[in-house]
Amino acid sequence: MRVLMITPGTRGDVAPMAGLGQALTAQGFDVSIAANPAYQELVSSAGCTFRELPGDMSALVNPAPPGTKTSPKDLRKYLAELGAYFEQAAAGTLKAAEHGSEVILANSVAPFAFDVAEALGIPAISAHLQPSEPSGDYSPMVLGTARSFGKLGNKALHQLIFASKAPYDAPTARIRAKLGLPKRSRAASERLRRKVSSPVLNGFSSTVVPRPADWHQNIINCGYWWPAADPSWSAPASLRDFLSAGEPPVFLGFGSTQALEADFLIDVARRTGRRTIIQGAGEFSESNVLGVGAVPHHWLFPQVAAVVHHAGAGTTAAGLRAGVPAVPVPIFTDQPFWASRLHRLGAGVAPIAYKNLTVNSLAQAINEAESNENYAQGARLISTKLAAEEDSALKVARFLERY
């Protein structure tokens, strides 16, 4: 079976799908992944065929410094840039699909993939990394809050958000027109898919996000799709030496957001007085602090004492898999949700709101995570449960074979 994955987004969106693709390839599937050019090596090293989605989503997710507010002008510019990005992604999706496939898996920001599949007469299936389907159990991810508005309030907000304008609406309309499909809005298409209970495959675990009772029967929590391991990667000597030179260090990094300046991160490390590995401030070495470039989380996280991160879906999952406590600093979209889950599961300290972030507050949270054994125990418990779960890729393979 030829499978095409449509994954506009940052590395955190692409890496889990590449891991799933690698596992499906081992099961005999022919997998192609459409992503931004920056992730061609990530896709190819997983044994999948790379298809280009022009653009660079990572350039669009850098927030303002803590304590500053985004102006209306900045917001309008950001939305315009997002619209242009999704125009490119929609065109790239059509071009990728023209190479041939029998099924398309589309992430939560690729609704135009369903229109392309409709025109080609092949099925398209939602493949999400966060709980995106309407439920009374949580508010919409796009609101960027972990606050619940009650079951009725949450459902009403989901309906309102899905009916509202989105940056990919115009590209979706243009794709439908180009393909000669009947005029239908993105919101109407999503309502139709929910009305007929179209399948949704979720790449996260019910251990972390229990399946809501109000989801329809075709929404499936498969378990985490772990990023593919690159067999050619090896840790630099400086990192190995640092890890072996003392107690397990703290990991401090904010992924694709590049949210904090190097001086801020280094100041936090010095304030804690703890051995620290910093990712996102360049490569450097000083007493008790090491700056590193790209390092696979599945290799590094089991060797650290705590992970400080933006609570993106992938980094949250990697920390739980490693069984180390978290210090979450969520910034936007689904990050507050995951940060709240970490704390409720007992695997992380209370989230620090990005707008209130200071060197002192982050240093205090790190010290709390390291000194309170309950967080380490909570993280290890979740790690044990995740390790005992059925292989998530096998679930997807069986589903696709039956579909």
Write the secondary structure of the chain as one string of H (helix), E (strand) and C (coil). CEEEEECCCCHHHHHHHHHHHHHHHHCCCEEEEEECHHHHHHHHHCCCEEEECCCCHHHHCCCCCCCCCCCHHHHHHHHHHHHHHHHHHHHHHHHHHCCCCCEEEECCCCCHHHHHHHHHCCCEEEEECCCCCCCCCCCCHHHCCCCCCHHHHHHHHHHHHHHCCCCCHHHHHHHHHHCCCCCCCHHHHHHHHHHCCCCEEECCCCCCCCCCCCCCCCEEECCCCCCCCCCCCCCCHHHHHHHHCCCCCEEEECHHHCCCCHHHHHHHHHHHCCCEEEECCCCEEECCEEEECCCCHHHHHHHCCEEEECCCHHHHHHHHHHCCCEEECCCCCCHHHHHHHHHHCCCECCCCCHHHCCHHHHHHHHHHHHHCHHHHHHHHHHHHHHHCCCCHHHHHHHHHHHC
Task: Name the pLDDT band for 229 (thresholds 50, 70, 90).
Answer: confident
- Report which of residues 369 and 333 the model is more confident about: 369
Mean pLDDT of 283-309: 93
Q: Give the tokens for residue 277.
A: 């590995």
> Tens digits of per-residue pLDDT, 104-131?
999 999 999 999 999 999 999 999 999 9
Mean pLDDT of 30-50: 96
- pLDDT of residue 75 exceeding 90, the answer is no
Q: Decide: 321 and 298 in contact? Cβ < 8 Å.
A: yes
What was the pLDDT predicted at 258?
Answer: 61
- pLDDT of residue 280 exceeding 90, the answer is no
Task: Name the pLDDT band for 382 (thresholds 50, 70, 90).
Answer: very high
Q: Residue written as tokens 């989605």? A: 53
The three-point CA angle 241-298-376 to 5° equals: 85
Task: Name the pLDDT band for 282 (thresholds 50, 70, 90).
Answer: confident
